[in-house]
Amino acid sequence: MIKKILIVFAFVILGGLCYYLSLTTIKKNKVKTKALHTLGVLNSEWKMKTSEKDEKFSTTFNSSTILIDGVYTSMEGPISYNRFKLNEEENELYWITKFEGMANSKYNSEKISNDFICHINLYHSDVEHFARMGLNERISRQQSDILMLTKGGLSITFPNGFGYPLYSNEKILVGTQALNLNKENEIFNVDYKFKLHYLKNKDKQLQPLYMRYVVLALPYKGKDEQTKPSINGDEKMFVRCAGPNNRMENDRGEKMTTFWKIPTGKHSFVSNVTKILSLKKEETIHFINVHVHPYATSLELRDSTANSTVFKSIITSSKEKKGIENITEFSSIKGVKLYPTHQYYLVQKVNNTSNKEIDMMASMFLYFYDEDLDKKLN
């Protein structure tokens, strides 16, 4: 009997190992992180602490610990997320004004711990949030993302007089994905700290913002079809898709991807984002931040109808290592207008100075003045 149990146990272990080895890198990391937390090998606890100073509030989130045991390019490292409510005892409207994040590891003294941040996210439930705001028509039509930070832009502050409204007892999701581009053959732990700043503005002196996410999407062909590295002018060329989860089709049934491969050298990529913006009326942007992968040099939102640049973010790469040092953002009290009759494009420039093919993506987070919500709140 014992022999049979041992044989079954061996088959279970072998089957589990085969299953694990068949997974993608990111799925392996999810399984591994879950196992390490469940077994108590790594700290699985999240902590939240709120403080107040001069009627300004901040909530700090300390994440669980994750293991870095290899090189992870963008979008494939271990993930740590948790759900919170800022204050279950209140049913009050809070106004988010700032969000910042940092990483903690054994490399703190070298000031490179933040190199292990791919991105930091803050989400709300689109069903709960828009229903409570009286904006049911936005459910499933507007992103549930509130904020996103990335290496090179780990702190964002909305312009004075603006904020993102959120109920105190509303469910939010906070988390991060790890990155490791340079530390090969090393094993170490990383945890993350996020700080959310907000006001309790009972008199509603702030103006609300809402976010639209626009991403650069490019046509690709299958594995056995001929591909080319970029889109230049009106000539259509095809990229090589880098991830199955980032595939889609456009209105013409063409295969598109938001995550692609780039060979060495300089390249330009262009994508029409007019439909993603879906502007029904003239609207004003007051804040823009950007997410790109290493070796991008700029990302521009261009108004082709007016032949002008709405905003161009300049990306500065690290000189001594692979990674991004700085990404410029747009912040304006006056804002810049976008028009429903205009055509808008994302234009990305890349200079792959490495000696191999790299992964790339490019997106912008556009924060518009929310006129509809402002009327409801007034």
Q: Tell whether 184 is covered by a domain.
A: yes
188 plus 94 within the same structural domain: yes
Residues in the chain: 378
CATH number of the domain bearing residue 222: 2.60.120
The pLDDT tens digits for 127-175 are 999 999 998 898 888 778 889 999 999 999 999 999 999 999 999 999 9
Q: What is the pLDDT of the chain when averaged over all its residues?
A: 87
CA distance 261 to 36: 32
The pLDDT tens digits for 312-322 are 999 999 888 89
Kindly report which listed range (44-48, 101-105, 157-161, 236-240) carries the lowest average pLDDT score. Answer: 236-240
47 plus 186 within the same structural domain: yes
Asked which of 205, 229, 257 is the last residue of a domain, the reply is 205
What pairing do the DSSP bridges indicate for beta strands 79-85 and 218-219? Answer: unpaired
145 plus 245 within the same structural domain: no
Q: Tell whether 349 is covered by a domain.
A: yes
223 plus 334 within the same structural domain: yes
Higher per-residue confidence, 28 vs 344: 344
Q: Tell whether 2 is covered by a domain.
A: no
Q: Which two tokens stand for residue 304?
A: 């082709």
102 plus 191 within the same structural domain: yes
315 plus 367 within the same structural domain: yes
Ranked by mean pLDDT, which of 123-127, 232-236, 335-339 comes out on top?
A: 335-339
Q: Comparing C-alpha atoms, which of 288, 285, 291, 292 is closest to residue 262? A: 292
The Cα diameter of the chain in Å comes to: 80
Higher per-residue confidence, 300 vs 54: 300
Asked which of 205, 229, 264 is the last residue of a domain, the reply is 205
47 plus 85 within the same structural domain: yes
309 plus 364 within the same structural domain: yes
Asked which of 150, 185, 205 is the last residue of a domain, the reply is 205
CA distance 179 to 322: 11
191 plus 96 within the same structural domain: yes
For residue 196, give its domain range: 42-205
Q: What is the DSSP letter of 246?
A: G
pLDDT of residue 229: 45
pLDDT of residue 273: 95
140 plus 239 within the same structural domain: no
Q: Tell whether 16 is covered by a domain.
A: no
What total of structural domains would you count in the chain?
2
145 plus 238 within the same structural domain: no
Q: Tell whether 313 is covered by a domain.
A: yes
Sign of CA dihedral 221, 226, 229, 230: negative
